Amino acid sequence: MKSKKLNDNGHLLSSDDLREKIHAANVELHRFEAKYYTLVHPEVYNPYEQKRIISTLKMIDNLMADVTPVKKALDFGAGTGNLTGKLLKMGYVVTAVDISAEMCSLLETTYKSYVNSKQLTVISSPIEDVNFDEGEFDLITCYSVLHHLPDYLGAIQKLSVFLKQGGVLYLDHEASPSYWNNEPRLLPHLLKHLYFHSNPILNTLYFQLVGISVPSLDYTMSDYWHKKDHHIDHEQIEHLFEKENFDSFTRKDYHLKGTWFPNPIFYLYKSMCKPEMSSWIAKK
């Protein structure tokens, strides 16, 4: 996907400039976020979403039951170990990669015993500098990662080279096509608007009650592809899977709980509005 961006002086940035700005923004944001990442992202760490991830990983594992006795996984954009920890407990030998040195340090501390036993390798690197053998991994996971990357289609293509035949590429927690579209009927449209705007209010209330002050963070460049005017294009992802000759690929859209406190309108929103998030499971 081609992208254009103006700098502060109104001049068009080159692709190299944009890549560096996105990388720098993610490094800086996650340096600041790392120590309390799980707290400020209830949309990831609430029990509802965690159960969905575990269920999905188990389903994917069943797809690869006959791949190899000891399965190797690459968790790209691993953060502090949301998927890494689950894969380790499932018996995978995991390589976890993240651009943030602070995230990687916390991941190594949390899963120190796995690092010591060589079941976990942690690498701090941007996608452009990552190199593995062709077909090295049985499973490659990217959860809440694509929208942070300068070139998410190029990243998917590069990661697919590292995936062995019969392996699975799992992409998750990206905005669905419905996220940016208005609901055609008035009531669902109003309900979607209410749900999206009530979640930050509930989370702010939660932080106040537990006595934690969370500063306002700027995600403008770090979440570059999470914008209406330049967002994740799922049609292009599908075309990429076709081009790379994946044996099968499926996108699943789902509704996301985004608060620590239960939002009382979630189930009404879920019943009347289209899902706002997407995941892909692609088997080579």
What does the pLDDT look like over 145-176, one tens digit per residue?
999 999 999 999 999 999 999 999 999 999 99
pLDDT in the model for residue 202: 95
pLDDT at 6: 42
Which residues, listed in sequence order, are joined to residue 279 by a DSSP beta bridge?
A: 252
Q: Centre a 10 Å sphere on the Cβ of residue 163 and count the other Cβ atoms it contains.
A: 24
Per-residue model confidence (pLDDT) at position 10: 38
pLDDT at residue 67 in the model: 64
Secondary structure class of 226 (helix, strand, coil): strand
Confirm if 44 and 203 have CB atoms less than 8 A apart.
no
User: Which DSSP state fits 2?
Assistant: -
Q: Domain-by-domain residue ranges, the chain?
A: 15-283
Q: What is the distance, to the nearest Å, from the Cα of residue 267 to the centroid of all Cα atoms in its chain?
A: 24
Whether residue 279 contacts residue 172, with contact meaning beta carbons closer than 8 Å, is answered with yes
Report domain 15-283's class.
alpha beta
Task: Specify the 3-state DSSP secondary structure of 241.
Answer: helix
Report yes or no: 132 and 57 within 8 Å, Cβ to Cβ. no
Report the alpha-carbon distance of residue 192 to residue 272 in Å, rounded.
9
DSSP 78: -
Say how far apart CA 228 and CA 43 lie, in whole Å.
20
pLDDT of 15 = 84
- Looking at residue 14, its pLDDT comes to 62
- Cα dihedral value 3, 4, 7, 11, nearest 10: 150
With 0-12 CB in 10 A as exposed, 13-18 as middle and 19+ as buried, what is 145? buried
E strand residue ranges, 90-154: 93-98, 120-124, 137-143
Query: How would you classify residue 244: left for phi > 0, otherwise alpha for psi between -120 and 50, otherwise beta?
Result: alpha
Task: Say how far apart CA 78 and CA 72 lie, in whole Å.
Answer: 15
β-bridge pairing 93-98 and 120-124: parallel
- Predicted confidence at residue 7, as pLDDT, reads 44
Q: Which residues pair with 155 in a beta bridge?
A: none
Low-confidence residues of the chain: pLDDT under 50: 1-4, 6-13
Predicted structure pTM score = 0.93
pLDDT at 245: 95
Q: What CA–CA distance (Å, rounded) separates 43 from 40?
A: 9
What pLDDT, on the 0 to 100 scale, is given for residue 3?
45
- Which residue in the block uniquely carries the two structure tokens 């976020």? 33
Closest by Cα among 201, 179, 205, 202 to 192: 179
